[in-house]
Structure 1
Amino acid sequence: MNEVKRENGAVAPNDGALQDMLATCHQAAYGWAVTCCRNDRAQAEETLQTAYWKILTGRARYDGRSAFRTWLFSVIRRTAADHWRKWLASRLRALPIEAASSVADPNALPPDQAASARQTGALLREALNGISGRQRQILHLVFYEEMTVHEAAVAMGISIGAASRHYERGKAALRRRLSDLGVIL
């Protein structure tokens, strides 16, 4: 990715280059936001919009210490955590909030394959929701966003050693959960 940096390594919020970098990463950023929001697509959209707002207004500044995408993912993760805390506080005040569910669009497949895809997707979501949040996040970054464990650690704000442990334990836990659900690996 072509990154335009200032003398201090930062990318200015009003730079067209910053907007181009955000546009280039948008699809992956949305996928990461969905993961950080436990598959709640509406919450993920709000989280991503807030993260973009923070970046474009200069409240979150890229200083060039890590890859742009890694930094972006850490901004999204922190924003999702902020949204979660606000949601939890509102829930504790007994405000009714309905959980959104997400289902992949099976329309592109023949009906028999679509049914199988829905069932497989539901089992995978159930298995992923059954493992710890950190394990789920690291598996998403490594497998869906093609980050290294090191890049994922930076994005998650944890040490490389902790990321490696979450990664290995997450794979083992996911394997066990899928087996418990009757998925043959």
Structure 2
Amino acid sequence: MERELANQLEALHADAHGWALHCCAGDFSRAEEVLQNAYLKLAQGRTHPAGTSTFKTWWFGVIRYTAHEEFRRLRCRETLLGKLWAQFQGESHDPRPSPSRQVELDEQTLQLRAALSQLPPRQAEVLHLVFYQDLTLSEAALVMKVGLGSVRQHYERGKARLRSLLQTPDSDHETRLR
């Protein structure tokens, strides 16, 4: 049983990392920490597959929940005094992109990322699960812990909104001329 679990986790690691990265809004170090904490939960026996969904769906749900826990924990630690102290010390965030982010700097990727960031969170989450993680809509519903009808609606609305955001002015002009 343990070996089978390890094989499943190993096969899903790259997808799980991508999902953790999405759940952490692209913060690579936080995504690694979230994924490590999810693995730790499993190793310590604090979570186990329920058997009501596929292993991948269950595992992505654990990662999503762990990311939410991490976000709440970090938000609680950020105090006004800590923020003021950092400002007083002159600490600032390095504006240069990380090496992994540097790869994303081509024009189409930036355009897609900008369009995705304009979507409501639920729509972006459904599109990520379906297109990047190859989940079905019913599996995405289980991961997100919402109804299938809700996921279908977020999926359709997200695709329509993304389509309208990605249309270039030139293609609109050409369409009108035809």
Q: TM-score range by the shorter chain?
A: 0.7 to 0.9
What's the TM-score, normalizing by structure 2? 0.80
Seen in structure 2, the aligned counterparts of structure 1 residues 157 and 184 have a Cα distance that, compared at 3 Å, is: farther
Residue number in structure 1 paired with 2:136: 148
TM-score, with structure 1 as normaliser: 0.77
Deviations 1:45-78 (A, max 9, x none): 1111111111111111112111000000000111
In the alignment, the residues of structure 2 paired with residue 133 and residue 173 of structure 1 have an alpha-carbon distance, to the nearest angstrom, of: 13
Query: Partners in 1 of 2:142 and 2:93 — Cα distance?
Result: 32
Match in the other structure for 1:21: 8
Distance 1:183 1:20, change over 3 A: farther
Q: Normalized per residue, which structure has more helix?
A: 2
Aligned to 2:153: 165
Percent identity, aligned pairs only, is 39
148-157 vs 88-97, greater mean Cα deviation: 88-97
Mark the runs of 5 or more structure 2 residues left unpaired by the alignment. 87-91, 173-178
SS in 1 for 2:109: helix
For structure 1, list consecutive stretches of 5 or more residues without a partner in the other structure: 5-14, 107-116
Count how many residue pairs are aligned between Structure 1 and Structure 2.
161
Residues 1:83 and 2:70 aligned together:
yes
* Cα-to-partner distance string for 1:72-103 (whole Å, 9 max, x where unaligned): 00001111111111222233444469597652
Following TM superposition, the consecutive aligned residue runs of length 4 or more in structure 1 with deviations greater than 6 angstroms are none
